[in-house]
Amino acid sequence: MLIALAQAGCTSPPRIPMTAIIAGQSIETTVDSELARYYGEHYWRGVHTRPEFDAILDRVHNTQTDRLATSDELAQITRETSADVATLYLAGQLLGRNKTLQNRYNAIFQTLTRTRPETTGLLPRDDRFVVLFVPGWFYKSDTTTGADFARPREILGGYGIREHLIEIEENGTIEENAQTVLAAIQRWSSEYNLIILVSASKAGPEVAWALTELARSGASHRVVAWVNIGGLLRGTRLADVALTWPARWYVKFFMLRGAPLDAIESLQPQRRRLGRFVFPDGLIVVNYVAMPLSGDVSKQASTGYRLLREAGPNDGLTLIADEMIPGTDTVIELGVDHYYRHPQIDMKTAALAQTVMELVREKEQRAPDTTLRPTSCRETAFGG
């Protein structure tokens, strides 16, 4: 929603056609530089035909360490090359670290698209599981965004998977909604052995904060996994833009129709709560992040993308590096922005849930006690 704030001086990037195969996926889009096109079409495949470009890309790869690049490092790559080069570099890092998980997710998605619920055993009914969906911003007022998870819930229900929607305040603050999520976790922990949380966008930090409070409280619970879809875990710099005069007035009366600005204020990056969380040891976390190149950005996300472009790879609402919990697994989705406008995104969400269920079952076989207690927990802090 913040991307409606067009700012003077935000220019569109160049549109240079690129056709490539990345992570087994055919990509046909436009990129912001000849260097980015060469990266995707040639360098990515190990084909070196432009020594001047090879030297630049070799330097990008050689100056980085084995760990995942930080937001600051990606911003530096963007300044020295382009936003699309930095995005392709980050995609390569994530695919290299999560190849097995990415392949599993892709295989489950392909199976789901080829079969019907009554003809596949891919999603066996397991009454111990419940998938709790935590919706995104204004999920009641605008159901066209998919923030209400209506279709993924319907798909999972068709396979006999139990699911529920946690009805948070659609324009509530992160702190307020975290309490609602916490109460729901405590309630459903008395009825199910295995709880999987699935959150979108602004609900990401709400779930993270609920889990943090749960861990610090010392209470037992049944949450075994969390699927974090495009979570605004460190807020968004666009919140600062929205709260600056005169944009603040426009947002309050034309976008929020007079509703309080508290929810936007809770997403400001400088909020001390954002960026430091505590999770129980053993909790499975899978981040699902959109990774658009400049030619993939929708009209809805275009202004936000331009506002954030110089800061590095972003999805039109926040920096991609800020959407992932450090030290956890990540599945990437190429070709879409923060709004995940993919014709099969609902099936992809269902495939994600099933992927995580398989991870839980495998872990359960190794350690049968699935009641997580925060007597042992890990603290997660974001780097710069």
Taking only the tens place, the pLDDT of each residue in 82-95 is: 999 999 999 999 99
Task: Tell me the domain boundaries of the chain.
Answer: 13-97, 122-381
Helix spans in 168-219 (H) = 174-188, 203-217
**pLDDT level of residue 78 (50, 70, 90 thresholds):** very high
Classified by CATH at the fold level, domain 122-381 comes out as Rossmann fold (3.40.50)
Half-sphere exposure of 42 (CA within 13 A, CB side): 13
Identify the three-state secondary structure at position 133.
Answer: strand
Taking only the tens place, the pLDDT of each residue in 334-351 is: 999 999 988 898 889 888
Q: Please choose, from the candidates 295, 289, 235, 290, the residue with its C-alpha nearest in 3D space to the C-alpha of residue 265.
A: 235
Lowest mean pLDDT: which of 101-110, 218-227, 270-279, 337-346?
Answer: 270-279
- Record the pTM: 0.89
Task: Report pLDDT for 375.
Answer: 40
Taking only the tens place, the pLDDT of each residue in 214-268 is: 999 988 899 999 999 999 999 888 877 766 645 554 444 435 555 567 777 778 8
- Are 163 and 157 contacting, i.e. CB atoms less than 8 angstroms apart? yes
d(CA 53, CA 35): 6
284 compared with 158, residue with greater pLDDT: 284
